[in-house]
Structure 1
Amino acid sequence: MILLSFLLIRSHLSYATHRPVEIPLQGLLADLLWSDPDRYIKGWEISARNVGYVFGEDVILEFCERMNIDLIVRAHQVVDFGYEFFADSHLVTIFSAPNYCRQFSNLAGVLQVDSNLCCKIFQLKPK
């Protein structure tokens, strides 16, 4: 798979960011950290955990088209096989902690992007 452009989110580097940062329960920072995709909705809905939102495939498709992004890569959400595609493969969740908290039997996923922007996903099994 060759990508023209992609966006990686979950954490960031910025000279202007002062650490540690207290995460508010609402606003841009909370939304970036706690919002999740949901196959069963359209648009945006408030998350059941009362921080961030859930969003439908339509949100991702419209955002990618408007921003000319081929793929959004995100983390932070347990997925059974280490990775999971969403919104016609315009968003992928990569979760790299196998057997998370010893409560899930999930695999770990690792995304490798080479200098030509070719992507490979590897799965790692817990011991």
Structure 2
Amino acid sequence: GLLCDLLWSDPSPDVKAWGENDRGVSFTFGADIVGIILQRFDLDLIARAHQVVQDGYEFFAGRKLVTVFSAPNYCREFDNAGAVMSIDENLLISFKVIKPIIVK
């Protein structure tokens, strides 16, 4: 349903329109879909989460979509950084990257 797809759909540079998702749930979508959604809802950026990205945040579709993932060293399986996104009163976006702590 709608809530499942909002949570689990992932951007993919290899997909035009919609594709199957490797997670086994929901779909992948291409940059063309991002453009359609932004135009239809008069938005400048889509900010999303719920997908591990190596550097804590990752842009897609010409910086029209950003994935933010705030859990560094996720489940101790990924050596990923986390990030927090801030938007100021002038709609300027910045990121604070949280490097993983490696325990030996």
User: Which residue number in structure 2 is paired with residue 97 of structure 1?
Assistant: 71
Q: Which runs of 5+ in 2 are unaligned?
A: none
Secondary structure of 2:39's partner?
Answer: helix
Percent identity of paired positions between Structure 1 and Structure 2: 51
User: Which residue number in structure 1 is paired with residue 20 of structure 2?
Assistant: 46
Aligned partners of 1:102 and 1:50: how far apart in 2?
A: 22
Aligned partners of 1:50 and 1:124: how far apart in 2?
A: 29
Question: What does the per-residue CA deviation read over 1:22-70, in whole Å, with 9 as the maximum and x for residues that have no partner?
Answer: xxxxx11111111110110100123233321100111001211222111
Paired AA for residue 22 in structure 2: A
Deviation at 1:109, TM superposition (A): 1.0
Secondary structure of 2:19's partner?
Answer: strand
Which gives a bigger RCO, structure 1 or 2 (Cα 8 Å, sep 6+)? Answer: 1
User: Which residue number in structure 2 is paired with residue 122 of structure 1?
Assistant: 96
User: Which residue number in structure 1 is paired with residue 61 of structure 2?
Assistant: 87
Q: Which runs of 5+ in 1 are unaligned?
A: 1-26
Runs ≥4 in structure 1, deviation > 4 angstroms?
A: none
**TM-score of the superposed pair, with normalisation by structure 2:** 0.91
Secondary structure of 2:84's partner?
Answer: strand
Q: CA RMSD in A?
A: 1.1
Bigger radius of gyration: 1
How many pairs are equivalent?
101
